[in-house]
Structure 1
Amino acid sequence: MENLNDYLPQSVTGKNILITGGSTGIGRATALLLSGLGANVIIVGQNEQHLSDSRADLSKKAKGEVYSIKADLSTEEGIMNLFDQVNIHFAKLDVLVNNAALAAGNTEDGNYEEWQKVINTNLTAYIACSAEAVKQMNGEGHIINIGSMSADVREETGSVYVATKSAIQGFSEAFRKQINKKGIKVTLIEPGAVDTDMQEQPTDEKKEKVKKLEMLIADDIAVSVLYCLSQPKRCDVVDLKIRPHLQLI
Structure 2
Amino acid sequence: MAKTLFITGASSGIGAATARAAAGSGWNVSLMARSEEKLTALASEIGDQALAVPGDATDLDAQSDAVAKTVEKFGALDAAFANAGKGLDKPGTVEGDPEEWHQMIHINIMAALFTARVAIPELKKTKGHILFTGSAAGRRHIKGSIYGATKWFIHGYAGNLAEEVREWGGRCTVIAPGMVDTPFFDEPRPDKLKPEDVADAAMLALDADPRNCIREVFLMPNN
**TM-score (normalised: structure 2):** 0.92
Give yes or no for the alignment of 1:40 onto 2:28: yes
Structure 1, gaps ≥5 residues long: 1-12
> How do 1:24-35 and structure 2 match up within 5 A?
24-35=12-23
Contact 2:116–2:130, Cα closer than 8 Å, also in 1: yes
Give the drift of 1:163.
1.6
Give 3-state SS (helix, strand or coil) of 1:194's partner. coil
Match of 1:110 in 2: 97
Give 3-state SS (helix, strand or coil) of 1:175's partner. helix
Match of 1:133 in 2: 119
Cα distance between partner residues in 2 of 1:142 and 1:102: 23
Residue identity in the other structure for 2:218: K
Give yes or no for the alignment of 1:239 onto 2:223: no
Cα distance between partner residues in 2 of 1:118 and 1:82: 22
Match of 1:88 in 2: 72
Residue identity in the other structure for 1:239: E
Cα distance between partner residues in 1 of 2:67 and 2:27: 18
Query: Per the alignment, do residues 234 and 84 of structure 1 end up closer, same or farther by CA in structure 2, a change over 3 Å counting?
Result: closer
Match of 1:156 in 2: 143
**TM-score (normalised: structure 1):** 0.83
Match of 2:131 in 1: 144
Contact 1:106–1:161, Cα closer than 8 Å, also in 2: no
Match of 2:84 in 1: 100
Cα distance between partner residues in 1 of 2:163 and 2:193: 31
Query: Per the alignment, do residues 75 and 115 of structure 1 end up closer, same or farther by CA in structure 2, a change over 3 Å counting?
Result: farther
Give yes or no for the alignment of 1:173 onto 2:169: no
Contact 1:22–1:31, Cα closer than 8 Å, also in 2: yes
> How do 1:178-197 and structure 2 match up within 5 A?
178-197=164-183
Give the drift of 1:139.
4.8
Contact 2:76–2:126, Cα closer than 8 Å, also in 1: no
Contact 2:179–2:221, Cα closer than 8 Å, also in 1: yes
Give the drift of 1:176.
0.7
Residue identity in the other structure for 2:201: S
Give yes or no for the alignment of 1:79 onto 2:63: yes
RMSD of Structure 2 on Structure 1 (CA): 1.6
Cα distance between partner residues in 1 of 2:146 and 2:115: 21
CA displacement, residues 19-56 of structure 1 (integer Å, 9 cap, x when unaligned):
11111001101101111221110111101221122223
Give the drift of 1:151.
1.0
Give the drift of 1:71.
0.9
Report percent identity of matched pairs.
Answer: 26
Residue identity in the other structure for 2:152: S
Match of 1:58 in 2: 46
Count matched residues: 219
Larger Rg: 1
CA displacement, residues 93-113 of structure 1 (integer Å, 9 cap, x when unaligned):
1010111101123332212x3
